[in-house]
């Protein structure tokens, strides 16, 4: 029989490969990479499929209007911007492109750690302004990394850190023994990790179980003078507590790819990112030529598989 062309909305900026592939097939594609939530709410009813990254929020009030929606495709990983509970209750399938940006985020993690340890960003600014100061930094080699959330990105990051000469500790609710063996590391409790690590990497999925997983209680346990790197989601850390610990010098530096508001809106958030020992990047973990190409490929493969599985 003749199947009706499926209506697809792409809400965020994606690789042109994805647009080309969709247009080649039986899809009516609407590309609106800057769509505002009000407009999304008003127009979502006509779509069968929505493709998004992390900018677009699919909250319950928007999904309630999505009467024809069958599949939400997250072009990337991390579905914390989607009300997955509500989607499930409506039988709307959610797919991701898990694994597509693993190398990119892992490389960024290591770059951020070295940048903190050698004070690279302030020194670059100094040098360009004719201020020639040789700051003394730290080696990563011989130090201990603590990885909170030892999944795909955690393992990939640990492999690089291990080759630099670091010891690996990890904390995860699911202890992948095979993976930790690959890097000669150890799973430990959160407190052991915090009190023994010189570099702490936060690579955990954001969910109800990990929201504010680093609060006052945990920050108290952090080894004095350690560096913190976060490329997962800001909400896993209590930001105001972090600001206090940065100001007291207890945390020597913080590098992050994610903020509570992107770009920041709250005063404490702006204060935090203005500090010279804080490095901020604008959510570029997956923003490489290679990762974006993979994101397009993985998203489409998973989308087509889901469509045929559902028989729609």
From CA 15, how far away is CA 305, in angstroms rounded? 20
Window of 39-47, 169-177, 193-201, 296-304 that interacts with ligand NAD by CB under 6 A: 169-177
DSSP class per residue in 81-121: TB-HHHHHHTT-EEE--TTTTHHHHHHHHHHHHHHHHTTHH
> Are 22 and 29 a contacting pair, CB within 8 Å?
yes
x/- site string to ligand NAD, residues 218 to 247, per CB under 6 A? -------------xxx--------------
* Length, in residues, of the chain: 312
Residue 236 Cβ, how far from ligand NAD at the closest point, in Å? 8
Which DSSP category does 263 fall into?
Answer: S
From candidates 47, 50, 70, 149, binder to ligand NAD by CB under 6 A:
149
292 binds ligand NAD (CB under 6 A): no
From candidates 11, 62, 77, 242, binder to ligand NAD by CB under 6 A:
77
- For the question of residue 55 being annotated catalytic, the response is no
Residue 67 Cβ, how far from ligand NAD at the closest point, in Å? 29
From candidates 66, 82, 204, 307, binder to ligand NAD by CB under 6 A:
204
Q: Which is nearer to ligand NAD, 67 or 284 (CB)?
A: 284
Residue 103 Cβ, how far from ligand NAD at the closest point, in Å? 11
From candidates 210, 234, 292, 299, binder to ligand NAD by CB under 6 A:
210
Contacting ligand NAD within 12-71 (CB under 6 A): none
Residue 274 phi, psi (nearest 5): -80, -10
**From 74, 103, 152, 283, active-site residue:** 283
96 binds ligand NAD (CB under 6 A): no
**From 103, 152, 233, 294, active-site residue:** 233
# residues near ligand NAD by CB under 6 A: 32
150 binds ligand NAD (CB under 6 A): yes
- For the question of residue 118 being annotated catalytic, the response is no
> Are 269 and 258 a contacting pair, CB within 8 Å?
no
Residue 233 Cβ, how far from ligand NAD at the closest point, in Å? 5
Q: Is 82 exposed, middle or buried (0-12, 13-18, 19+ CB in 10 A)?
A: buried
From CA 246, how far away is CA 264, in angstroms rounded? 18
Q: To 5 degrees, how large is the angle CA 71–CA 73–CA 77?
A: 140
Task: Tell me the Cα Rg of the chain.
Answer: 21
From CA 9, how far away is CA 51, in angstroms rounded? 6
From CA 24, how far away is CA 43, in angstroms rounded? 24
Residue 64 Cβ, how far from ligand NAD at the closest point, in Å? 25
Position closest to ligand NAD via CB: 151
**From 262, 266, 269, 297, active-site residue:** 262
Strands 186-187 and 199-202 turn out to be: unpaired
- For the question of residue 167 being annotated catalytic, the response is no
> Are 146 and 171 a contacting pair, CB within 8 Å?
yes
From candidates 47, 78, 239, 269, binder to ligand NAD by CB under 6 A:
78
172 binds ligand NAD (CB under 6 A): yes
From CA 157, how far away is CA 102, in angstroms rounded? 9
Query: Which residues are catalytically annotated?
Result: 233, 262, 283
Footprint of ligand NAD (CB under 6 A): 76-78, 98, 101-102, 105, 149-154, 172-174, 203-207, 209-210, 213, 231-233, 257-258, 283, 285-286
């Amino acid at each position: 029989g003749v199947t009706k062309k499926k209506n697809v909305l792409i809400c965020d900026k994606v690789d042109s490969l994805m647009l080309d592939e969709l247009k080649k097939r039986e899809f009516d594609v609407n590309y609106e990479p800057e769509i505002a939530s009000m407009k999304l709410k008003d127009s979502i009813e006509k779509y069968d499929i929505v493709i998004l990254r992390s900018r677009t929020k699919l909250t319950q009030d928007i999904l309630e209007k999505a009467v024809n929606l069958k599949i939400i495709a997250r072009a990337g990983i991390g579905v914390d911007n989607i009300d997955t509970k509500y989607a499930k209750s409506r039988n709307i399938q959610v797919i991701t492109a898990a694994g597509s940006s693993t190398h990119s985020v892992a490389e960024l993690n290591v770059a951020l750690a070295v940048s903190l340890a050698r004070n690279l960003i302030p020194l670059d600014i100094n040098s360009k302004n004719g201020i020639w100061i040789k700051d003394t930094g730290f080696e990563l080699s011989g130090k201990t990394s603590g990885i909170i959330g030892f999944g795909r990105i955690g393992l990939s990051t640990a492999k690089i850190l291990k080759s630099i000469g670091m010891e690996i500790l990890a904390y995860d609710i699911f202890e992948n023994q095979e993976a930790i063996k690959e890097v000669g590391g150890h799973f430990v409790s959160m407190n052991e990790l915090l009190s023994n690590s010189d570099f702490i990497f936060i690579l955990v999925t954001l969910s109800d179980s990990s929201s504010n997983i680093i609060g006052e209680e945990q920050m108290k346990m952090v080894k004095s003078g350690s560096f913190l790197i976060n490329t997962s989601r800001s909400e896993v850390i209590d930001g105001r507590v972090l600001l206090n610990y940065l100001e007291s010098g207890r945390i020597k530096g913080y590098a992050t790819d994610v903020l509570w508001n992107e770009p920041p809106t709250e005063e404490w958030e702006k204060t935090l990112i203005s500090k010279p020992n804080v490095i901020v990047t604008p959510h570029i973990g997956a923003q490489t030529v290679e990762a974006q190409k993979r994101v397009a490929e993985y998203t489409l493969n998973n989308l087509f598989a889901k469509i045929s599985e559902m028989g729609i």
